[in-house]
């Protein structure tokens, strides 16, 4: 936490505060293009990884039926990814909430507990990407997994820049703070954009399996 308010803290580098507000708005905009999840902490819609139903076996001719083991593998994989999805939603919602909070009251950026919470949510974006990398997809979903982990790598980069922004702010380097917040915001936009084709591919694959 900064020892004193000082001139630079006056308005806390308006550019940085505005970018934090933009972060909150971006999460809302991304949500308009995807399914609205339930029970998001802030009550705001947030982008989802893959708004699809878990596939179930249907009676089909023996020569075209998916092996029971493959269906089970797909279900297990989707369960793991849905858990990761839920963690991302919480992190994005928290960053959006705190961005709005900072735009309403810039002095919260001088509160060490607030900064720690912001860093924690940003770190969650990094951790969920690493968790997704460790999930082994079934062969039929390998291409989807590559697409979605690539998208999540952008979320991880966003989290890294958000953390760097907090570090730069505490060091009193406000220009760098704004620069890092801008980079973090850009990566978040790329993440939500890249998730769309991954979701479309997953929906197509699951439709083929359950038909």
The string of DSSP codes covering 64-116 is TPPPHHHHHHHHHHHHHHHHHHHHHHHHHHHHHHHHHHHHH-GGGGG-HHHHH
Name the residue among 58, 44, 50 with its Cα closest to residue 78: 50
Q: What is the pLDDT of residues 75-127, one digit of tens each?
A: 999 999 999 989 998 998 999 899 889 888 988 988 999 999 999 999 999 99
Question: Is residue 9 assigned to a domain?
Answer: no
> How much is the mean pLDDT over the chain?
75
* pLDDT > 80? residue 40: no
Which residue range forms the structural domain that includes residue 78?
23-48+66-210
- In a domain? residue 141: yes
Q: Report pLDDT for 69.
A: 57
In the block, residue with structure tokens 């339930």: 38
Whether residue 90 lies inside any domain: the answer is yes
Q: How far apart are CA 120 and CA 186, in angstroms?
A: 20
Measured CA to CA, the distance from residue 178 to residue 175 in angstroms comes to 5
Q: Is the pLDDT confidence value at 26 over 90?
A: no
**Alpha carbon separation from 126 to 122, 154, 203 (Å, rounded):** 7, 9, 26
The stretch 131-139 carries a mean pLDDT of 95
Q: What is the pLDDT of residues 147-202, one digit of tens each?
A: 999 999 999 999 999 999 999 998 989 899 989 999 998 998 999 899 899 989 98
**Which pLDDT does position 147 carry in this prediction?**
95
Q: How many domains does the chain have?
A: 1
Would 4 be classed as within a structural domain? no
The DSSP code sequence of 144-179 is HHHHHHHHHHHHHHHHHHHHHHHHHHHTT-HHHHHH
pLDDT at residue 63 greater than cutoff 70 = no
Q: Kindly compute the dihedral angle of the four CA atoms of residues 119, 121, 126, 129, in this order, to the nearest 10 degrees.
A: 180
Residue 5 within a domain: no
Residue 15 lies in a domain: no
Within-domain flag for 27:
yes
Q: For the whole model, what pTM was predicted?
A: 0.68
Residue 64 to residue 176: CA distance in whole angstroms: 58
């Amino acid at each position: 936490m900064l020892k004193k308010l000082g001139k630079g803290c006056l308005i806390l580098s308006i550019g940085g505060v505005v970018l934090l507000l933009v972060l909150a708005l971006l999460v809302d905009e991304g949500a308009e293009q995807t399914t609205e999840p339930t029970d998001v902490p802030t009550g705001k819609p947030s982008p989802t990884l893959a708004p699809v139903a878990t596939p179930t076996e249907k009676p089909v001719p023996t020569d075209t039926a998916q092996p029971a083991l493959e269906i089970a593998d797909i279900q297990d994989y989707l369960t793991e990814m849905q858990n990761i999805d839920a963690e991302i939603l919480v992190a994005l919602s928290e960053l959006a909430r705190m961005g709005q909070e900072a735009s309403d009251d810039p002095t919260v950026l001088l509160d060490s507990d607030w900064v720690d919470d912001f860093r924690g949510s940003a770190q969650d974006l990094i951790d969920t990407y690493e968790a997704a990398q460790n999930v082994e997809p079934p062969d039929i979903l390998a291409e989807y997994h590559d697409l979605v982990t690539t998208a999540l790598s952008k979320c991880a980069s966003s989290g890294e820049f958000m953390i760097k922004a907090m570090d730069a702010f505490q060091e009193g380097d406000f220009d760098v703070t704004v620069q890092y917040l801008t980079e973090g915001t850009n990566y978040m936009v790329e993440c939500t954009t890249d998730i769309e084709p991954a979701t479309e591919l997953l929906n197509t694959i699951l439709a083929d399996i359950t038909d």
